[in-house]
Each structure stands twice: as C-alpha cells, then as structure tokens.
A and B are shown apart, each in its own frame.
Chain A
C-alpha cells in the first residue's frame, strides 16, 4: 500500500478545503481500504469523512420526504423506523447487501461510490479501461458471466467496459427518485438518481458525474409514492454475495385492476443502477397481469446486448421483473 497522510475532517467545508491532488475521501473504508491494499487506489492523502456530523436520518425540508446523512451507517439506515415503515424497499435493499459487520462500517456516501467488483479491475497485473484508460478490457474475451448485459461499451476498443455497479442500496434509491446532495469546490448542488452514476460511454474510468473533490453530504427521498414495493436479489448463495440481477419495484394497482403507477430499477445488469423506464411505461394503464408484466420485461430487455457468457442474465432479469411485479399485484 502506498504511504498516505491522514486528516479527519470536522465539517463538510473542512473536508472540501483539505481535498487536493491525490486525495480521497474515506467513509467506512470497506471498499477503499480493500482497493488500496490491492494497489488499485493509491491516494497520498485520506480525508476521513466518516465522523462528519452527517449521521442523521430525519424529515426532509419541504414536507413528506426523508433526508439521510452521507455518514449514516448502512445498518443504521436499514434499522431506522421511518425507513422500515415508509421505504421498505430501501431497508430490504440495504439488508440484502454485504454482511452485518460490513453494514455496521459502511456509510451511505461510500456505498453509492463503491467501485465495480469486476475481477480484472481489482487485479493491477491486468489491463482494464476503467483502472488504466486505453489499456483494454480483458473481461470481454474473458470472465464476464456476472458483468453487464445492457448499456455497456463492448466493442469500443480503448473505452470498452462491461462492468456493473455492485450496490444494492443504489438500486432502491434509483427506483425511489432519490436526490443526492453534493458539495464541492464549485459549491452545493443536487443530483437526481438516476443521474449520479453514468454508463461507460467514452470514459469508463468515470463511474459517476461527480468531479474530483465533490463530497456527498446527504441523500434526499421524496415522499413515498403510493403502492406496494419490494427489493429482490438473485445471487449465487443465499446470503453475503453480490447480485447476479436484482430488482427494486413499486406497483400501484387501481381499484379496477389496472396499473396506476410503477417504478422499477434493476441491479447487476449495467454500469449504473438501471431504471427500467421502458417497462414502467409499458405497464401503465394496462391490467396488472402476468402477461402485461412479461411483455413489459421483454420491451425493457429488447435493449440488452448480452456477451457470450452472460446471456443467462437476460433470462434471469426477465423472470425477475415478471415475478416481482406479479407478487406486488396480488
């Protein structure tokens, strides 16, 4: 691990002021310390933001919503009474991620900005367009079973990348239309989700639209939309494994049995949590039935471009979308 200096920030302005070339923010460290040990991240200065006074969950200004501080630990977020009662999809997504130990350490800000689990990204002896832009993407000809099926840049040569974003929490936040509060050298701003995470495009090294030194201070949730919601994660073992495919879904069925509202986001399929707008539009106003749901899944996945080793994830995603919407319609 490269030697680094350490600075514990007292407030957000202090953190931003101290950020400079070679610096990185430190949350719970559960992803960053690992990547530093692997040589993937090589900060010369860690600005610790885990003890900033951003550790509260409470009502958002302007009524009805919730404001979640960026330093709130994942376990405290999932255990918070307002989250359990009003945003069950979010509580379930957080609880399905990592382990009890890791959730106790991990922060909301760090969870959003965790890096891909692509094995080549984590192995500095291999090329990787995300870690070393222009060096190539060995995943496309190699191990990509659990990488992206949609929105990727395979075929783009020096900017090809088929990585997925690994966060479960971010999938629920994407379905819930969360807004990410950011402060940085250029001042404060609010970034909607979807919109924080990017598709690889020509810059696979950039996971998000954030600029160097941008500090996430909070995540704001709008009032919970009407309807029932859930988060379901398909994985290789029953617990403590990243998603193969996951779905955060909300469904509002009118008295006449037609779909009045639907919000759907998928995890494990793309470089960013994938908001399934096509499927949402496809079910709107139709009878809330299995055939409408599977047609919507097909419409969404018509955009998929699976690689030779991960076509099964298209079938998984189709089955999952149909199953969660059916379950919510009962």
Chain B
C-alpha cells in the first residue's frame, strides 16, 4: 500500500468509445455510467433507464458484441470499447430482423423495455452454450421457447408482452438456422 498519489485527486477522465460504428471521445466525470454517457452526453436516448440497478434490462446494450447492463457499467472502465445501442441495430432504413419480428409479432405495448429486449436478444442469439434450463451441459441446445425465456430473463416487461417477445425471437432464431 502506498500514500495517495497526485492522480488520486483527478475525478474526470477522457473516454474513447466506438458507438454504433462512430468513434467518440469525451471528457467525463468518473462517476458517469455508460448509460448516462449514451443518453445525456451523446443524445442516444434509445437505451432506457428503468431501475439503474441491473434489475430490469431496459438499459441493455452490446459492449464488444456482448450484452451488458449499461447502468452498471462505468464509462471510464470501458474506455476503448465498441458499443452498439438500439440506434445501431438497423442498417440504414432496413430494420434489424429482430426489430422487424417485434413489429410483426406484436412484441411490445408501451415500448419502454423494447430497446433493451432487442439488444439483449441480439446478444443472446450469438452466445450459444448451455443455460440454466439446458438438460445436457456439453452441447449447444436448440433455442426452444423455454431456452429463450431463461436466456431473456434479465429483461423485464411491465406490459407483459413476454409471450410475443418469445415468438418474435423464436422467429428470428429459426430463420437464422436455415441455410
């Protein structure tokens, strides 16, 4: 252990992120969460603040392609990261297949949880491996509705659109497995 160093008095940091493909450098208070950086500093208000405690999933974004709760991520700790928010899912005017499926399957009501559901599903579809409900731990199970419900359990929906969320995600996951 050492005595406090001069740097220990510095409470701001420069954070460089690639957000939806665009490089952004910002000077922020070290306390700034990735969620607040996105919403307050970059004006990307698609990611939502439901609880600010990791309990609802409304703030879900992809960090380096992996889904994460932006409310529990300190921006300074993710310096250099590639972040994808709901604003970055579509390809220009072409919706992401999940966005399209959410519309077709009526997978939302108020829409508040939807950006988090979409980012979470996008991350989940690339994860593979077993989940808590997988019988055989050694394989990559098929994404049955039961598997999808378990894997999406970090995203709450107060409107209870769960049934159609599972349908929409199922549609995209089975489409993805066809040649």
Contacts and interface: CB of A to CB of B under 8 A. Distances in A.
A238 B60 CA distance: 21
Interface string B125-157: 001111110000110000000000111111100
A100 B138 contact: no
A99 B153 contact: yes
Contact of B2 (A18, A75, A95, A212): A18
A123 interface: no
B67 A101 contact: yes
Contact of A102 (B2, B5, B69, B137): B69
A212 B1 CA distance: 9
A101 B129 contact: no
B136 to A, nearest CB: 9
A77 to B, nearest CB: 11
A64 interface: no
- Interface SS of B by simple majority: loop
Q: Is the interface of A mostly helix, strand, loop or mixed?
A: mixed
B1 A30 contact: no
Interface residues of A, number: 51
Most buried by B among A78, A81, A104, A213: A104
A101 B77 contact: no
Given A19-B1, A20-B2, A6 B57 contact: no
Given A1-B31, A5-B10, A78-B130, A17 B2 contact: yes
A183 to B, nearest CB: 13
Contacts of B67: 100-101, 104
Given A28-B72, A30-B69, A101-B60, 8 more contacts: A3-B31, A6-B13, A6-B77, A20-B3, A34-B54, A100-B151, A101-B57, A104-B123
5 contacts: A37-B52, A75-B127, A79-B129, A101-B54, A212-B1
Interface of A: 1, 3-8, 16-22, 26, 28-30, 33-34, 36-37, 44-46, 48, 50, 75, 78-79, 81, 84-85, 88, 91-92, 95-96, 98-102, 104-105, 185, 212-213, 238-240
